[in-house]
Amino acid sequence: MSIIVKSAALKATALAGAFVLLTAAGPLPDLTPVQNHAAIEEIAKLVAKDYVFPEKRDAIVSQLRVREKEGRYTIANPGLFAQTVSEDMVAFSHDKHMWFQLDPEGYKAALLPPDDTQAEAYFEALAARTNQGYDEMRILPGNVRYVNLASFAWSKKETPAVVADVARFLKGADAIIFDISGNGGGAAEAVRAIVSYFLPPDGRTLVTFHDGVTGKDDVSKVEPTLAGPRLTGIPLYVLTSHSTGSAAEEFAYHVKHFKLGTLIGTTTAGAANNDSIFPVAPFFLQSISTGRPEHGLTHSNWEGVGVAPDVEIDPANARDTAYAMALKSLLAAGREEHRNEYDWALAGVETRLHPFAIKADALAAYAGQYGTRKVWVDGGKLMYQRQDRDPTELKPMAADLFGFANSDEVRARFRREGGEVTGFDLLTADGQVIPNPRT
């Protein structure tokens, strides 16, 4: 939960790297050994006081002090110091929320009082610069709508409105692909804001966060009313990877256990503990796990194990795999009015998943002039150009069938007589067939 709280700590649910804040322009001064030692002492104090598992505190602090005595942390470069300490903190605790980060501006913001308007404005501005984490929205052929959510940023003033706009975009989809494969986490409020759109307004408990610092529980429930349309009933495919962490894992966990859709990719990072972020002089932030989530259905969480996908595949191919699955499901549903559209889109995505190869010397058979259109071979690629237009590559899809590298809406099917290429038909996504004889 991205808000400033007492003790000048920042509550969050993000992995290192996912909670990157603005850094000061220009190089920072070297650290002195006194500053190195003071930072290690502050980290040890925070762990001993607030780490969520009391039985592990002494061992983490002990290992930190051993490494310091060995001289491991006598490092002048601030970035290298932060990287070294962070790697050790994660290794000592086996907890991916125990990171240490160089962040001069974040450090100054974390020093401000909990109710300081300057601190609130700082984090609101960060969320606004990333569109609350919603990086990309696209309509893929076949009306499969894709959203890339890079982080679960939270702004009390702005995020709900952005999420409502995303829901309005997705409402018209035949199927949805939701990409959190590179999402390292963020705010629990942002997770509740979007996952509520995929659930009925039944008031069910999503997660109970047990706070080890205050001893209080924070219960997250499905939002009863929303500013945009609910998305229940639309096939949902969610992309994950080992980089999917923390709050993003919470979203994936809901999808899996509330059976909202299909997870595609690899098992997520396994970072469930909710953390507080503390300033450490002279310009660092230390994340300490201070609580744990309990899912409303399983009464457990994903700490250390991650969220396993329904379809395990290399994240590099996860998007196209999800896309193909969505199109096949839509075809199986018998929506005849869109069958040609789905078939056309599926042929394109299957070609990317299973490339069709043509030997370079065989490409020469297609080279030639076709009226105002020219086809030639360049560097082992078949190229195409219409008069007064930019050239583009023709990519093989099947025997004598090629797609255009610059468009999903048109393809070229070459015709032969007696084994010789005599022309091609220009095929369009809306069913047109335009013959082009070889001249």
The β-bridge relationship of strands 236-240 and 262-265 is parallel
Rounded CA-CA distance 294/347 in Å is 43
Assigned token pair, 31? 């650290």
Residue 261 is given by DSSP the state S
Give the strands of the sheet with 134-140, arranged side by side: 134-140, 144-149, 175-179, 236-240, 262-265, 311-312
Burial of residue 297 (number of CB atoms within 10 Å: 0-12, 13-18, 19+): middle
CA torsion through residues 89, 94, 98, 102, sign = positive
User: Using one digit for the tens of pLDDT, what is the confidence trace for 126-143?
Assistant: 888 999 999 999 999 999
* Confidence (pTM): 0.87
The span from the CA of 417 to the CA of 424, in Å, is 12
Which tokens belong to 191?
Answer: 């997770």
Domains and CATH numbers, the chain: 1-354 (3.90.226.10), 360-437 (2.40.128.50)
Exposure pattern of 239-258 as b/e (b: 16+ CB <10 Å)? bbbebbbbbbbbbbbbbbeb
CB-CB neighbours of 115 under 10 Å: 10
Give the β-pairing of 217-221 and 9-14.
unpaired
Cα–Cα distance, 196 to 202 (Å, whole number): 10
Q: Please, are residues 234 and 166 in contact by the beta-carbon 8 Å criterion?
A: no
The answer for residues whose C-beta is within 8 angstroms of residue 268's C-beta and 6 or more apart is: 240, 241, 242, 244, 245, 248, 249, 252, 302, 306, 307
pLDDT tops 50 at residue 56: yes
Query: What's the whole-number mean pLDDT along residues 312-333?
Result: 97
What's the pLDDT score for residue 14?
Answer: 57
pLDDT digits (tens, 9 = 90+) for 21-48: 434 446 899 999 999 999 999 999 999 9
What mean pLDDT is predicted for residues 282-288?
96
pLDDT at 2: 31
The larger pLDDT score, comparing residue 95 to residue 23, is at 95
Q: What is the pLDDT averaged over residues 348-375?
A: 95
> Which residues share a beta bridge with 12?
275
